[in-house]
Chain A
């Protein structure tokens, strides 16, 4: 991915040299043209066309913000309800992610999810131990983690 961005910047510089115009607008046009050229020649790259990954990162960031707002609403409900009927507990979750940075992002996402907080990561990095505010909601939480978060992170790293 970083190679493709570097190549794109390089193409933009070539455009600036061809035009003999060294302003930022010339750089921008060269960048867009280079993007088109790279889109046409994308089958020669070993990894995916990098805008796909940039878009996946943006989607992951939007997911982060959405989960943050939802988790705040659920915590507020728990705190402000007159009777404290919560059943907290710690449950284990197997993860399919392997790289360290992926697990870090997943742990951060889980911490910002409604009613879950990561307590520990196992030494072999395959299990996350998660403290849940309400254990009966556990399966729902596992489903949402499995289906949305892991998939969104895999989309970035794939």
Chain B
């Protein structure tokens, strides 16, 4: 039984590592702040969550130790990292960072809500 759970946690941890690696590739490859933010705020969230879940499963079933702090960590990362992504892209937009050249649409530009933009 412990062997099966070892394999499950191994798969989870490897999956999380691959997700984090690919999101790092995304940070290098994608063209501007906003698209990079897509990669950073989504893939690393799930990557870290699966790594923590794998750790939790390992210690629960192999060592019989229920670590609630790992579960809390999963919960907090799940709640906070989309907010961090939103704040980074929002402050980037309001401090005048331009979108990629091939961007096709910008509704925010014409709206009345750009109160913080420096000319």
Q: Interface residues, chain A, CB within 8 Å of chain B?
A: 64, 68-69, 71-72, 75-76, 78-80, 84, 86-92, 107-108, 111-112, 115, 117-120, 122-123, 127, 129, 131, 133, 135, 138
Contact = CB atoms under 8 A, between A and B. Distances in A.
A148 B2 CA distance: 40
Interface stretch (B19-27, B54-62, B63-71): B19-27
Given A89-B104, A90-B99, A76 B89 contact: no
B113 A122 contact: yes
Interface in B51-97: 78-79, 82-83, 85-86, 89-90, 93-94
A145 to B, nearest CB: 15
Contact of A112 (B23, B29, B82): B82
B26 to A, nearest CB: 4
Nearest to A131: B34
Interface string B31-46: 1101101110111011
B3 interface: no
Interface of B: 19, 22-23, 25-26, 29-32, 34-35, 37-39, 41-43, 45-46, 78-79, 82-83, 85-86, 89-90, 93-94, 99-100, 102-109, 111, 113, 115
Contacts, number: 120
15 contacts: A69-B46, A76-B19, A79-B39, A84-B29, A86-B35, A87-B103, A88-B32, A88-B35, A88-B100, A90-B105, A111-B41, A112-B82, A129-B113, A131-B34, A131-B37
Nearest to A67: B42
Q: Give the secondary structure class of B's interface.
A: helix
Nearest to B82: A111
Contacts of A107: 82, 86
B42 A75 contact: yes
B30 A68 contact: no
Contacts of B107: 90-92, 129
Contacts of A120: 90, 93-94, 108, 113
B51 to A, nearest CB: 14
A119 B82 contact: no
Given A68-B46, A111-B41, A111-B85, A76 B22 contact: yes
